[in-house]
Amino acid sequence: MSVTESKSELFTVCGVDVVESGAKAREAPRSESSVFEHYIQPCLAEMLGTALFVFVGCVSVVGNAGLSGCLQPALAHGLALGVLIMVFGEISGGHLNPAVTLCVALCGGMKLALLAPYVLAQLLGSMVGAALAKAVSPSANFSSAAGGAFDVVQTSGAVGAATVAEMLMTLVLTLVVCMGAVNAKTKTQLAPLCIGLVVTANILASAFVSGGCMNPARAFGPAVAAKHWEHHWVYWVGPICGALLTVSMVRLFFGDQKTRVIWK
């Protein structure tokens, strides 16, 4: 996800670059700075960006504990995400979400070799962000809000509705990401704003059904910090299924000629 074209779309896994010298091209070894910028720097950006996003999200939830409504967490998550995408978009794509990374990778927006490192960096960042939120929050408020972890699903009967809600909300989010920031035919410079707004809207819409997570990393870090694992799998299964649905739609119907696998 980037304002113009994410560097994650330009990554190559090969170990050599082609360099023109006069009329003759030759192969040159990849420099250390190139390896850093193409592989290490993006993962560091994903880790830091996810840490900051989770920190803001958790602190907003803890601060909203005991209050009615979800406007504060919705605005905090959406605004923080939009700004962080603008800041880190040209380095890593500004995914900050394993479901988004999976969707972007399968839609051709980044090399599959970077999928696992990105997800690992995001999970590490989420733990750091949740730990920082715990450190700055009053212990009583932190406990009452479960540290910003998702505790909306209280009964086994509500699990199905929460999973479907997470799937559909993530479908909307990843569709905006792919069509607004990856697909060449529809990408826009307003992608960070659109992504932040859709996250805000989704949280407002589904806060009392599933909590409006849409992001396994956002669920994982707070679960570790607060030791709250009840129904945690919902926030992996729902977002991943939503991301895969978006991949199917983009690859089959809505992608540009380069992205579609049929009807080229």
**Could you tell me if residue 148 is inside a domain?**
yes
Per-residue pLDDT, 217: 98
Residue 230 within any structural domain of the chain? yes
pLDDT tens per residue across span 218-261: 999 999 999 999 999 999 999 999 999 999 999 999 999 888 88
Q: Is residue 114 part of a domain?
A: yes
Residue 23 in any domain: the answer is no
How many Å apart are CA 103 and CA 227, to the nearest integer? Answer: 29
Q: 8 lies in a domain?
A: no
The single-letter DSSP state of residue 17 is E
Q: What is the mean pLDDT of the chain?
A: 88
Give the structural domain span for 70: 30-254
Domain count, the chain: 1
Q: What is the pLDDT of residue 262?
A: 87
CATH of residue 73: 1.20.1080.10
pLDDT band at residue 263 under the 50/70/90 scheme? confident
pLDDT band at 30 (very low <50, low <70, confident <90, very high): low
- In the chain, the N- to C-terminal Cα span, in Å, equals 25
- Give the pLDDT confidence of 173-217 residue by residue, as tens digits: 999 999 999 999 999 999 999 999 999 999 999 999 999 999 999
Q: What is the pLDDT of residue 154?
A: 82
Residue 225: inside a domain, yes or no?
A: yes
pLDDT tens digits, 49-76: 999 999 999 999 999 887 878 999 999 9
The alpha-carbon radius of gyration of the chain (Å, integer) is 19
Evaluate whether 122 touches 198 at the Cβ level (below 8 Å): no
User: How far apart (Å, rounded) are the C-alpha atoms in residues 7 and 94?
Assistant: 10
Residue 212 lies inside a defined structural domain of this protein: yes
